[in-house]
Amino acid sequence: MASGAVGGYFAFHFSGNGCWQSRLLERLIAWRNHFGVPYGDQGIFVEASAYSACGQHSPWPLFEEVELVKQLRKLGRFERIAQGLKADPRRWQRDGWWRRSLHNRVLVLAYVLGVPATYLARRYNRGNPTPALPANKS
């Protein structure tokens, strides 16, 4: 940010001991991010004035950062921080590395084709329910 970037994102890395599938996916995701859009789980950061100028992020439960990142790149440099954040690999391990990745790509394709993000979020979270929140003790 000090060098004039309007924002950026952290490189995608899996936590824990890597395997060949996780290392390959990290490289493929880095390539995708170079030409496409990094997603929110990569810790997107942005200068406040640029965030406002881009119209902020969409109020959707999935792909909410896509238009924001596209607009930020039109405003100026959008930098990658190489150290990265660590993503939990359990979903990939549970579903299978390639099946989870293909599932995610199908969701992106559906989003690009105009399928509502609310519907896609249900497909993304299928079989992985959100933990219940503690009851309000008021």
Please check whether residue 22 is in contact with residue 92, taking contact to mean a CB–CB distance below 8 angstroms: yes
Residue by residue, pLDDT tens for the chain (138 residues) are 778 899 999 999 999 988 999 999 999 999 999 888 998 888 999 999 999 998 888 888 899 899 899 999 999 999 999 988 899 999 999 999 999 999 999 999 999 999 999 999 999 887 554 443 344 443
Could you tell me the pTM of the whole model?
A: 0.78
Token pair belonging to 55: 């119209």
30 Cβ partners below 8 Å, 6+ apart? 11, 12
In one-letter notation, the amino acid at residue 43 is G
**Which one, of 87, 83, 55, 58, lies nearest residue 71 by Cα?**
55
